[in-house]
Structure 1
Amino acid sequence: MMSIVSKYWPFLLLVASNVFMTFAWYGNLKYKNNSMPIFFIILLSWGIAFFEYCLMIPANRIASKNFDTAQLKIVQEAITLVVFGFFSVFFLKESFKLNYVLSFICILGAVFFAFKKF
């Protein structure tokens, strides 16, 4: 039987790691008119990504005891898109279009089928 920690904790860690990843990869776009050298931006992004790895690695190791690697990857991609959706709307102030919603629904369908027993 799966404990609460092994069942839900990895997914909370994946959400947190994806917040760091999203800021590491896309946070600089809010300040793209800044004259900061690209090398400094890369180093700053690597520093942020370090914390992503500190959360992602334990999440995958814990979850791999109860889930297949393919299931983990599909869930991770869905989490990434949800986190990115919030990030792009609330941090970058971009619009969220209908085709994005429909695309996210398709990804959630992939998660459903990844865990469906046939």
Structure 2
Amino acid sequence: MKALSTVVLLTISNLFMTFAWYGHLEFKKISWLQGLGLVGVILVSWGLAFFEYVFQVPANRIGFEENGGPFNLFQLKVIQEFISLSVFTLCAVYVFKTDKLGWNHFVGFGLLIAAVYVIFKKW
């Protein structure tokens, strides 16, 4: 249950992170955000990043093995990176609609899956 809670919280965290880091590139499509200058964009992004941490910190605390969770630090980081790239890809393709998936993306994801395997493998 702690593993699932960790993954779910990290996924929610990464949704907020993606919109904090890249969502402002779409502000031109939202009329009341179009006039924001750089400082305004930074403040909106910080507001979104706050919620990223609201979910990420508990995810890491719940999932960390020294707190009774199933993952070591390397495993937590690799899980977070895999989720981050997955969430980003889905947002780029289906929400922002700026890119299309190509063969190179699938090869890259295959290599990420291989990285997850190598990090989790007990040698």
TM over 0.5: yes
Q: Could you report, residue by residue, the CA deviation over 1:28-81 in whole angstroms, capped at 9, with x for unpaired residues?
A: 112358442011000000000100000000000110022110111011000000
- Number of residues of Structure 1 aligned to a counterpart in Structure 2: 114
Structure 2 CA distance, aligned partners of 1:7 and 1:83? Answer: 18
| Comparing 84-93 and 32-41, the one that deviates more | 32-41
Q: TM-score, structure 2 length as denominator? A: 0.87
Residue 77 of structure 1: which of 61, 78, 81 is its match? 81
RMSD: 1.4
Consecutive unaligned residues of structure 2, counting only runs of 5 or more, are: none
Instruction: Indicate the larger mover: 11-20 or 100-109.
Output: 100-109
Picking from 24, 30, 35, the partner of 1:28 is 24
Residue 71 of structure 1 aligns with an amino acid whose one-letter code is Q
Deviations 1:70-114 (A, max 9, x none): 111011000000000100001111212221121111111111111
TM-score by length of 1: 0.90
For residues 51 and 35 of structure 2, the distance between their equivalents in structure 1, rounded to whole angstroms, comes to 26
- State the Cα distance separating 1:18 from its structure 2 match: 0.2
Report what 2:106 is aligned to.
Answer: 101
Where does residue 51 of structure 2 map in the other structure?
51
The letter for the 1-side match of 2:62 is: I
Query: In the aligned structure 2, how far is the partner of 1:64 from the partner of 1:110?
Result: 19
Structure 1: which 5+ runs fail to align?
Answer: none
Instruction: Say which is worse superposed, 23-32 or 56-65, in terms of deviation.
Output: 23-32
Q: Deviations over 1:9-43 (max 9, x none)?
A: 01100000000000000011123584420110000
Match of 1:88 among 66, 88, 92: 92
User: What is the percent sequence identity of the aligned residues?
Assistant: 42
